Amino acid sequence: MEIIPAIDIIDGKCVRLTQGDYAQKKIYNEHPLEVARAFEDAGLIRLHLVDLDGAKAGAVRNWKVLETLAGRTSLVIDFGGGIKRSEDVDIVFNSGAALATIGSLAVKDPATFAGWLQQYGADKFLLGADVKNEKIAVGGWLETTDKWIYDFIEEYTGRGVRQLFCTDVSKDGLLQGPSLELYRNIVQKFPELHFIASGGVSELDDVFRLEDIGCKGVIIGKAIYEGRITLDELTKIALTSKK
């Protein structure tokens, strides 16, 4: 099971939001490279990097941070936030991201995303789905659509997408545990999917529970920054997974 630490960026600094609310912002480190190197030193391989300025502006903003982290660590980085145009996709890949993370655009403009899947290859994208009551949420979680998460996944696995992470917006940033039932349902319905859980992880036992139900990966943010899960603990998991 992949442990994927998250770094969220505002003004070039490492922050975390609570339930996507920019007013509930907490700065954890002004130097994201220090954080990324700590993850790398812990034996972790991947990084989930989110440009919150870009997400708000509707265009990639913190690509320089991506460029620095990709150039000065060996982490496999997926980068999201503000990817709306082909130019944004090019910036993300040219700056060193292994994967471009796409969320709301896949809901609001499926034709554009389908074009990118053909142009760049489906293996170059990590699809993100924000969910509330099993329905897709968009627009910074403020808008819930009538689209079922299962229909959404089926649509894009049919287009070649193989990696997807899902965030239950009612859980994110609250450290109250992940949505095990939702994730179990997804894993059972789509066993071929490289499914990554996101949101709500508050302790190491949550990671083991997600592994038990068949998740291939887990994105962890606030639990690390708040000391609920230590890098030493993640190192042990990383070493075990390599055996």
**φ/ψ bin of 201: left (φ > 0), alpha (ψ from -120 to 50), beta (otherwise):** beta
Q: Which amino acid type is present at position 228?
A: R
Helix (H) or strand (E) holding 61: none
pLDDT surpassing 70 at residue 174: no
CB 196 within 8 A of CB 218: yes
> What is the token pair recorded at 96?
């060193």
Cα separation of 50 and 9, whole Å? 6
Phi, psi of 19 (to 5 degrees): 50, 40
**What does the alpha-carbon distance between residue 3 and residue 83 come to, in Å, rounded to a whole number?**
24
Quote the pLDDT of residue 140: 57
CATH number of 145's domain: 3.20.20.70
- The one catalytic residue among 8, 88, 172, 206: 8
Closest by alpha carbon to 163, among 110, 218, 125?
A: 125
Closest CA to 187 of 211, 167, 214: 214
Does the annotation count 78 as an active-site position?
Answer: no
Structure tokens at 104: 């709301």
| pLDDT at 81 > cutoff 90 | yes
Q: How many domains does the chain divide into?
A: 1
- pLDDT bracket for residue 18 (50, 70, 90): confident
Q: What is the pLDDT of residue 196?
A: 98
Q: Which of 14-28, 89-103, 196-210 has the lowest mean pLDDT?
A: 14-28
Residue 176 is predicted with a pLDDT of 80
Tell me which of 51, 53, 130, 206 is the catalytic residue. 130
- 8 a catalytic residue: yes
- Predicted TM-score (pTM) above 0.85: yes
pLDDT beyond 70 at 92: yes
pLDDT (mean) for 155-169: 95
